[in-house]
């Protein structure tokens, strides 16, 4: 309210100054048009006219400068610019107590910034070539098209993959022991066996056991849950689960499976390969159970880089 009163005072002074300026300008033009009464002295007349004109111009200048100062003062004390219909909020007479309009402006700026950030994030995520799941990003039409193909891998595709991997890795022997869901039994040399549950060609679950441990329950059904009784294979099961996530590529399922098998194949000489860091075969009663995901070099769990 205080600023409004000040503004009103300034405006009324500005109106008075404008009137003064108009009067001065009119008077000056009248003097120039009609001339002024000069004395009879022939030498004094031109001097008197010039001094009168100078006086008139001085008054105009003074009024003009004063008006300019007032205008600047009024502009400084004005509140924030109003935007559209929200400007009506700033007409609240108790603005000092409930600053609705400034808060509305702040919120508007915040929302604009949020929209900009989300647009940038969306652009960045869309550019990412490898996605964790088939549903992330892309248009709804694209999602509808790709989602079913991940699950509807033909048995022929699984058989081809098994055959190719058997051919590629000499120490690995894969057999398909169950259909729907597909379960593979993998022997790596004479060191260990892995039970792999597939969804499409993607690895859903891995269980590592000793080469001689049972695959079947007492009632003859497939045992997909009992962990190995040996600590070394329990550890490798943990690392294998991490590896299956590390190599998870829904858009390139074949490559995903091959990468995992390349990693698993590195366990063929588990008990006769020293740790890459400490050079020891056994540490804390365990061989090097961890493998680098990139180079598949062996490390103890505590030695890994």
The residues of the shown chain that bind Zn ion, judged by CB under 5 A, are: 275, 277-278, 300, 303
Taking the complex as a whole, the smallest distance from the CB of residue 239 to Zn ion amounts, in Å, to: 14
Q: Which is nearer to Zn ion, 140 or 279 (CB)?
A: 279
Taking the complex as a whole, the smallest distance from the CB of residue 245 to Zn ion amounts, in Å, to: 24
As given in the structure block, the two tokens for residue 18 are 């404008």
Taking the complex as a whole, the smallest distance from the CB of residue 214 to Zn ion amounts, in Å, to: 31
Quote the Cα angle for 221-188-215, to 5°: 10
Distances (CA, A) of 9 to 6, 15, 20, 253: 5, 10, 17, 78
* Paired strand residues for 205: 197
Taking the complex as a whole, the smallest distance from the CB of residue 286 to Zn ion amounts, in Å, to: 10
Residue 195: closest CA among 231, 158, 159, 240: 240
Taking the complex as a whole, the smallest distance from the CB of residue 304 to Zn ion amounts, in Å, to: 8
Q: Which is nearer to Zn ion, 18 or 273 (CB)?
A: 273
Q: Which is nearer to Zn ion, 164 or 266 (CB)?
A: 266
HSE, side-chain direction, 13 A CA sphere, residue 175: 4
Q: Which is nearer to Zn ion, 137 or 274 (CB)?
A: 274
Taking the complex as a whole, the smallest distance from the CB of residue 302 to Zn ion amounts, in Å, to: 7
Q: Which is nearer to Zn ion, 81 or 284 (CB)?
A: 284
Q: Which is nearer to Zn ion, 50 or 278 (CB)?
A: 278
Helices and strands: H and E segment counts in the chain: 7, 6
Taking the complex as a whole, the smallest distance from the CB of residue 300 to Zn ion amounts, in Å, to: 3
Q: Which is nearer to Zn ion, 206 or 275 (CB)?
A: 275
Residue 182: closest CA among 148, 212, 153, 209: 153
Taking the complex as a whole, the smallest distance from the CB of residue 297 to Zn ion amounts, in Å, to: 11
Q: How many angstroms separate the CA atoms of 288 and 298, rounded?
A: 6
Q: Which is nearer to Zn ion, 106 or 231 (CB)?
A: 231
As given in the structure block, the two tokens for residue 260 are 């995992």
Q: How many angstroms separate the CA atoms of 246 and 267, rounded?
A: 17
As given in the structure block, the two tokens for residue 94 are 């108790």
Region for residue 279 given its phi and psi (left: phi exceeds 0; alpha: psi -120 to 50; beta: otherwise): left
Q: What is the 3-state secondary structure (H, E, C) of 123-191?
A: HHHHHCCCCCCCCCCCCHHHHHHHHHHHHCCCHHHHHHHHHHHHHHCCCEEEEEEECCCCEEEEEECCC
Beta pairing class for 290-291 and 192-199: unpaired
């Amino acid at each position: 309210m205080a600023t409004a009163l000040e503004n009103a005072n300034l405006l009324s002074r500005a109106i008075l100054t404008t009137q003064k300026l108009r009067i001065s300008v009119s008077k000056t033009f009248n003097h120039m048009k009609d001339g002024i009464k000069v004395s009879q002295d022939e030498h004094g007349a031109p001097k008197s006219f010039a001094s009168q004109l100078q006086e008139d111009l001085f008054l105009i200048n003074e009024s003009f400068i004063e008006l300019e100062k007032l205008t600047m003062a009024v502009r400084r004390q004005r509140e924030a610019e109003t935007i559209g219909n929200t400007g009506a909020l700033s007409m609240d007479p108790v603005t000092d107590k409930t600053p609705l309009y400034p808060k509305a402006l702040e919120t508007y700026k915040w929302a604009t910034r949020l929209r900009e950030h989300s647009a940038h994030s969306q652009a960045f995520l869309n550019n990412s070539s490898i996605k964790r799941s088939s549903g992330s990003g892309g248009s709804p039409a694209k999602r509808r098209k790709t989602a079913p193909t991940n699950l509807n891998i033909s048995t022929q595709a699984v058989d081809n993959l098994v055959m190719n991997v058997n051919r590629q890795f000499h120490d690995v022997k894969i057999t398909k022991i169950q259909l729907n869901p597909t379960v593979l039994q993998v022997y790596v040399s004479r060191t260990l066996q892995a039970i792999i549950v597939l969804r499409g060609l993607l690895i859903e679950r891995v269980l590592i056991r000793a080469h001689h441990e049972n695959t079947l329950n007492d009632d003859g059904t497939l045992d997909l849950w009992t962990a190995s009784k040996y600590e070394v294979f329990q550890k490798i099961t943990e690392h294998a689960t991490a590896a299956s996530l590390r190599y998870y590529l829904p858009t390139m399922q074949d490559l995903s499976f091959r990468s995992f098998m390349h990693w698993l194949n590195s366990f063929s000489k588990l008990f006769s390969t020293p740790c890459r860091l400490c050079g020891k075969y056994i540490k804390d009663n365990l061989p090097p159970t961890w493998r680098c995901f990139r180079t598949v070099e062996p490390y103890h769990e505590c030695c890994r880089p």
